[in-house]
């Protein structure tokens, strides 16, 4: 239906008075990508999305869509469409007129715009509701109408600001699957703002993790999860232990470091200066319980908490200068050799499961 466009963000900043919301970010989103801007509240995701859409001015830098610099173009001239968090449907208009609205603004004649609006409602399986008003719809149906309304201009990129946040958990997961299907079938670029790492992992081809107005990592979901670039990313994505210390040297190709007042551990990564502060990430589900730690790949600790989660069991362990270390084991492994709070346990992991993290804000 539409053609997809690459979005190129070049050294873009957004300053509101004395607040720098977005600080000199550069990012290429390839045409046809499902991209999620992910990060905590206030990190600059929405400002970034609104600058791509043209709903917010760009303080410095440029945004390009395909071959066109759109930095100074109004929203309707950019080839983008935006779907807002609240859907922003007009309560007094029926669904056809809601969906046809932007074509009306463009001066498209009534018959033509209503026909196109019906086509869009059909695409979203909402044609049976065409004469209803938004208040007569469920949350999921309102979202479909908002999507139809955004897509009626045949945008090259669809921008979505927390599109699933108004839905209950069950509907959220269903609509998430529908969004992915829609993006795949349309083939256009989607940029979707979310603070949920689970949502981003489920949907994105490209996850852009933002923190404090900057990009910490932009990579496919599996890379972000398996090779978090920074301690912020490792903590935000979850399922990693982040352990800090100071580098003491190199051994067998591994970086060796001391945890403050505790164990000497080893990690895979670039050689670091002796004495430099270091953070490493260890996957919570890649830790073995019961294997004696060797070569800095593990430590002995005391179990401080146990949570049963059904398919898995989560344990908190403290020791060797590490206050709260999380271990997730399969339920069958746990119950084959159960431990209780207060037990001393040896923990061990493989060299590739302890990775040195980079520092963005040094």
3-state secondary structure of 179: helix
Look at residue 127 and give its three-state secondary structure: helix
Asked whether the beta carbons of 301 and 347 are under 8 A apart, the reply is yes
Q: Is 44 in the site for ligand ATP (CB under 6 A)?
A: yes
Piece of the chain touching ligand ATP by CB under 6 A; list 14-22, 93-101, 109-117, 315-323: 14-22
Task: Report in angstroms how near the CB of residue 58 gets to ligand ATP at its nearest.
Answer: 13
- Backbone dihedral angles phi then psi of residue 165, each to the nearest 5 degrees: -70, -25
Least distance in angstroms from the C-beta of 114 to ligand ATP? 35
Give the binding range for ligand ATP (CB under 6 A) out of 41-49, 121-129, 181-189, 354-362. Answer: 41-49
Q: Residue 75, interface with ligand ATP (CB under 6 A)? A: no
In whole angstroms, the minimum distance from the beta carbon of 337 to ligand ATP comes to 43
Closest approach of Cβ 11 to ligand ATP, in Å?
17
The residue among 83, 129, 128 whose CA lies nearest residue 102 is 83
Q: Shortest gap between Cβ of 47 and ligand ATP (angstroms)?
A: 3
Quick check: 39 binds ligand ATP (CB under 6 A)?
yes
Residue whose CB is less far from ligand ATP, 31 or 166: 166
Interactions with ligand ATP, residue window 175-214 (CB under 6 A): 195
Q: 41 vs 67, which CB is nearer to ligand ATP?
A: 41
Examine residue 57 and tell whether it contacts ligand ATP (CB under 6 A).
Answer: no
Between 41 and 340, CB nearer to ligand ATP: 41
59 lines the binding site for ligand ATP (CB under 6 A) = no
Task: Give the CB-side neighbour count of residue 307, counting CA atoms within 13 A.
Answer: 7
Contact status: 45 vs ligand ATP (CB under 6 A)? yes
Asked if 9 and 52 count as a contact pair (C-beta separation under 8 A), the reply is yes
Complex with ligand ATP: residue 13 or 189, whichever CB lies closer: 13
DSSP letter at 234 equals H
- C-alpha angle with apex 53: 101 to 222, nearest 5 degrees? 120
Using alpha carbons, select from 245, 236, 232, 241 the residue that is nearest to residue 315.
241
Give the DSSP H or E segment for 225.
Answer: helix 221-226
Backbone φ and ψ of 227, nearest 5°: -130, 65
Output b/e per residue, 276-292; b: 16+ Cβ within 10 A: eebbbbbbbebbbbeee
What minimum distance in Å lies between the beta carbon of 196 and ligand ATP? 11
Whether the CB-CB separation of 298 and 348 falls below 8 Å is answered with: yes
Residues near 297 by beta carbon (within 8 Å), at least 6 away in sequence: 265, 266, 348, 349, 350, 351, 354
314 binds ligand ATP (CB under 6 A): no
Q: Contacting ligand ATP (CB under 6 A), which of 5, 21, 200, 218?
A: 21
Nearer to ligand ATP, 210 or 243 (CB): 210
* Contacting residues toward ligand ATP, per CB under 6 A: 16, 19, 21, 39, 41-47, 195
């Amino acid at each position: 239906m539409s053609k997809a466009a690459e979005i190129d963000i070049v050294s873009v900043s957004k300053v509101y008075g004395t607040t720098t919301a977005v600080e000199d970010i550069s990012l290429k989103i390839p045409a046809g990508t499902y991209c999620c801007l992910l990060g905590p509240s206030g990190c600059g995701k929405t400002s970034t999305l609104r600058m791509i859409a043209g709903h917010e001015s760009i303080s410095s830098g440029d945004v390009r869509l395909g071959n066109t610099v759109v930095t100074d173009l109004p929203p309707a001239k950019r080839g983008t469409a935006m779907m807002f968090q609240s859907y922003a449907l007009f309560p007094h208009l029926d669904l056809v007129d809601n969906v046809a609205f932007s074509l009306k603004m463009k001066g498209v004649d009534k018959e033509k715009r209503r026909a196109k609006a019906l086509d869009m409602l059909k695409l979203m399986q909402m044609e049976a509701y065409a004469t209803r008003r938004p208040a007569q719809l469920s949350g999921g149906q309102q979202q479909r109408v908002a999507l139809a309304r955004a897509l009626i201009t045949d945008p090259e990129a669809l921008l979505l600001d927390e599109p699933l946040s108004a839905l209950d958990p069950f509907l959220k997961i269903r609509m998430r699957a529908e969004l992915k299907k829609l993006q795949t079938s349309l083939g256009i670029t989607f940029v979707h703002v979310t603070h949920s790492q689970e949502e981003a992992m489920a949907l994105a081809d490209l996850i852009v993790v933002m923190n404090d107005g900057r990009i910490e990592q932009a990579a496919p979901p599996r890379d972000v999860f398996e090779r978090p670039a920074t301690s912020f990313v490792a903590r935000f994505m979850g399922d990693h232990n982040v352990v800090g210390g100071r580098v003491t040297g190199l051994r067998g190709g591994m970086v060796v470091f001391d945890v403050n007042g505790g164990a000497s551990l080893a990690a895979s990564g670039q050689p670091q200066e002796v004495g430099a502060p270091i953070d490493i990430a260890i996957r919570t589900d890649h830790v073995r319980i019961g294997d004696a730690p060797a070569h800095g790949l593990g430590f002995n600790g005391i179990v401080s908490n146990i949570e049963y989660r059904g398919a898995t069991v989560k344990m908190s362990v403290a020791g060797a200068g590490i206050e709260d270390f999380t271990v997730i084991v399969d339920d069958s492994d746990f119950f084959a050799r159960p431990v209780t709070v207060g037990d001393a346990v040896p923990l061990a992991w493989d060299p590739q499961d302890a990775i040195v993290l980079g520092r963005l804000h040094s």
